């Protein structure tokens, strides 16, 4: 009788860099999504990978049996604020709470590094992201009743309760 080795935990977090080849498929799908919704993916080129590296930032992948299924990052916005970027779940793995899990890990990591607040923007054509951030306790810094297209990038913030001073 042959016994297969245990696959280990189904989900794991890998703290890595924005230029990790393992992140490539997720970021390529994100670029395609931006192109489809906005006609451009140049926002993905706005920041150098080093901005998402310690000690001021982080880039992580959520792996399922070693394969990337979701990811996200943050960078220093100011001395007390981290800015979330690149929150993304692979299209084949949505509706499983993975983005919320990525958010939670990024929030905990940012708090451990002394950030007291998180800031982010999402696009007006990403209602699922807007819903995620509202459900996760982020405060909109815009009028929720306004047409998102009239606002442009939709800013949110969240104060971290467990930050280290």
3-class DSSP assignment, residue 131? helix
Work out the pLDDT band at 34, boundaries 50, 70, 90.
Answer: confident
Compute the average pLDDT of residues 22-43. 86
Closest CA to 63 of 24, 23, 97: 23
Q: Please tell me the distance from the alpha carbon of residue 57 to that of residue 94, in angstroms, as a whole number.
A: 25
For residues 130-153, one letter each, b for 16 or more C-beta atoms within 10 angstroms of the residue's C-beta and e for the rest, the string is bebbeeeebeeebeeeeebeeeee
Within 13 Å of residue 127, how many CA atoms lie on the same side as its CB? Answer: 4
Average pLDDT of the chain to the nearest whole number:
89
pLDDT tens for 86-118 read 899 998 898 999 999 999 999 999 999 999 999
Is residue 35 scored above 90 in pLDDT?
Answer: no
Is residue 3 scored above 80 in pLDDT?
Answer: no
Q: Which domains does the chain have, with CATH numbers?
A: 11-159 (3.40.630.30)
Q: Please tell me the distance from the alpha carbon of residue 71 to that of residue 106, in angstroms, as a whole number.
A: 10
Structure tokens at 90: 């692979």
pLDDT tens for 130-158 read 999 999 999 999 999 999 999 989 999 99
How far from the centroid of its chain's Cα atoms is residue 92's Cα?
17
3-class DSSP assignment, residue 60? strand
State pTM to two decimals: 0.87
Q: Please tell me the distance from the alpha carbon of residue 4 to that of residue 9, in angstroms, as a whole number.
A: 15
Is residue 29 scored above 80 in pLDDT?
Answer: yes
């Amino acid at each position: 009788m042959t016994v297969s080795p245990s696959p280990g935990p189904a989900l794991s977090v890998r703290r890595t860099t924005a230029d990790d080849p393992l992140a490539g498929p997720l970021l390529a799908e994100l670029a395609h999504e931006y192109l489809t919704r906005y006609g451009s993916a140049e926002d993905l080129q706005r920041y150098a990978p080093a901005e998402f590296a310690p000690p001021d930032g982080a880039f992580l992948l959520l792996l399922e049996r070693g394969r990337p299924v979701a990811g996200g990052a943050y960078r220093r916005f100011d001395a007390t604020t981290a800015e979330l970027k690149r929150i993304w779940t692979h299209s084949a793995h949505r509706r499983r709470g993975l983005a919320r899990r990525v958010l939670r890990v990024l929030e905990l990591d940012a708090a451990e590094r002394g950030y007291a607040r998180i800031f982010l923007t999402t696009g007006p054509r990403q209602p699922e992201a807007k819903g995620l951030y509202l459900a996760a306790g982020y405060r909109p810094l815009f009028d929720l009743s306004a047409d998102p297209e009239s606002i442009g990038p939709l800013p949110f913030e969240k104060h971290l309760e467990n930050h280290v001073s």
